[in-house]
Structure 1
């Protein structure tokens, strides 16, 4: 029986499955490298095609969801993804490994179509539920992304060992097809208001939407500098064993993910806890924890570890309130376009941190790099993030 809760849970399930499908790929990269007989540069092209596809397709998918409804967009995206993943399975089964461009193109199409799910229209949540649940439900949708990524990492390791690369791609396609069936049976769109008939891109003329997106880019630069390089920084500055550093990174992600949900839900139920306070406050926590690294090896070891862990937790906790703010700011008629823009901005932020860190370390050193790519972006985001507003973005 269709209900708003069944539709929400189906959307949540779709998010988890597609996050598992595409975010689990990098963690299993060495297994795919062996199975597809790729060298390191070819592996980078293969996996990079998925990352690029998500960046370039999420905003268009969000605008399409505003215009045509989330259900139609989900079904279209899922259908294309199933076909592309099946094509990857067939291509991988051939006696001669297909050219790299064929594999990369199929993965690009699959991940790009998956953007219909990973950049979903928040207009559905805003249309189904009253205002006191908006931040909670958007936060849960956002929090399902890393959950899916973690499940995908485990699933790929098991499937590749048991079924090989061909069976793994077919299994991924089957899981997506099952989600598509659930969407067809249980999902439906909320009633569309008159404002939904206008161009969905109209919300992008609101400067507040762009300010939120820019802060998403900046905060993701800081977040992924810490998540990607914390173990390296702690090892090179304080001789912390790499295994210990990676353990602390896991702690950051687990505690940060829990705080992400609590902070997002809290903005619905605690009158004094606004979304702007959460995002700005967590940004400033990162600044205060990362700026002391400019002292380099003069910083006490245990203090350095503690500061890095706290910065990592804060860096993983802002997304729920941040994405909720974007959806509520844009309103039901424009939330898809706004969230798509926000997803694109955060993806670019993660990419920027990972690419620029190496250049900065060569030009300077880790203390200066942590300041430039960690503390400074978080500080700018805290200044730029707009205040809460009950008004919808102008069309």
Structure 2
């Protein structure tokens, strides 16, 4: 039950924070924005997420997951509802930042709640299931936001994630239970896990792996519509189906890590595959549309499968007294990369074209291969 509630809550905020790029065509048409401007505006909730993640993680460590997640869901839904109503681009951006800041509560606390209820031998699977929340949320956005934006405008489309978040706030308040805490655990484990390099390397490698994930996730619809001639609704439906495969990949990666008693070896293999997928997309754009589509789909699926591994490793390395803060820092690094990807990649595409820009993006997972701390890994009880 706890796992199901956590997945549903995080899916709602994922539809808000990561699903807005699906309204880019409507946003550009209604507001006369460039690709870089529209891409930046649709990922601006991530800025709010970045500003609040560590604080929400510390709050979860201190006050528990249930109250933190309930406040976050209600705030995210209310801010998004206001963004759909209040006129003007600047107020829209400010309210989306506020929505992202409230949604950070779920990112920091839901993973802590899930990990607190599961044993080390099943934690990879549990966290893999929890991490399906992002593909599920993005899939819901891909199915609903393009037709809503096309029919009623992009602001009306914002009502969908707003209502989703408000409904999940009620579910969290009613059904979520905080995991049991051992008396005195916080006092016994006060030393910072950041005095060792391994946790820093996990954060950095997983942040680099966000690069291909957000290049594909942010620009897939735009690429298929403008470069390949697809209809926006058709492309949205196809990308929603891809999210299902991405969700299955996260579960499979979690099971894999439990079976081999390692989070980092599977993560390094995924980094290699993500770099190759981006190169296939780049070559395909230059030589054959079908190959570009294969590379895009492969990048969207492969690049999301490592997230659960990095989150699980972060909590295991941090321990119960630091798990909320460490997951907040983990999320901060990943979302910092996500926030930078949209404007930077859009600028690079404009300057040198899609094939070379995609080849440059492939360097990010290639660097993650070298940074992933495989040697000396042991799985410790949380």
**TM-score, length-normalised on structure 2?**
0.79
Comparing 172-181 with 8-17, which one deviates more in the overlay? Answer: 172-181
What residue is the counterpart of 1:11 in the other structure? 6
Shift of 1:281: 0.9
Distance 1:152 1:298 in 2: 30
What residue is the counterpart of 2:92 in the other structure? 103
Aligned pair 1:325/2:313, yes or no?
yes
From 191, 215, 239, the counterpart of 2:205 = 215
8 Å contact 2:23–2:154 — kept in the other structure? no
What residue is the counterpart of 2:255 in the other structure? 265
8 Å contact 1:126–1:332 — kept in the other structure? no
Distance 1:164 1:308 in 2: 27
Aligned pair 1:149/2:138, yes or no?
yes
8 Å contact 1:231–1:242 — kept in the other structure? no
What residue is the counterpart of 1:138 in the other structure? 127
Q: Aligned runs of 1:54-93 on 2, under 5 Å?
A: 54-88=49-83, 91-92=85-86
Distance 2:188 2:209 in 1: 32
Q: Secondary structure at the match of 2:104?
A: helix
RMSD, aligned α-carbons = 4.1
Shift of 1:64: 1.8
Whichever of the two has the greater Rg, that structure is 1
Shift of 1:299: 7.5
Map Cα deviations across residues 151-184 of structure 1 (whole Å, 9 max, x no partner): 1343445666888888766665444333222222
Shift of 1:140: 1.3
Distance 1:367 1:324 in 2: 34
Q: Aligned runs of 1:336-347 on 2, under 5 Å?
A: 336-347=324-335
8 Å contact 1:24–1:149 — kept in the other structure? yes
Shift of 1:389: 2.2
Map Cα deviations across residues 173-213 of structure 1 (whole Å, 9 max, x no partner): 44433322222222221222333358989344442221111
Cα distance change of structure 1 residues 179 and 370 upon mapping to structure 2, 3 Å threshold: closer
What residue is the counterpart of 2:33 in the other structure? 40
Distance 1:218 1:241 in 2: 28
8 Å contact 1:216–1:322 — kept in the other structure? yes
Aligned pair 1:377/2:361, yes or no?
no
8 Å contact 1:66–1:121 — kept in the other structure? no
Distance 1:166 1:225 in 2: 24
User: What are structure 2's unaligned runs of at least 5 residues?
Assistant: none
Map Cα deviations across residues 222-259 of structure 1 (whole Å, 9 max, x no partner): 333455567999999xxx94549x69977765534322
8 Å contact 1:13–1:179 — kept in the other structure? yes
User: What are structure 1's unaligned runs of at least 5 residues?
Assistant: 1-5
What residue is the counterpart of 1:202 in the other structure? 192
Cα distance change of structure 1 residues 294 and 47 upon mapping to structure 2, 3 Å threshold: closer
8 Å contact 2:148–2:156 — kept in the other structure? yes
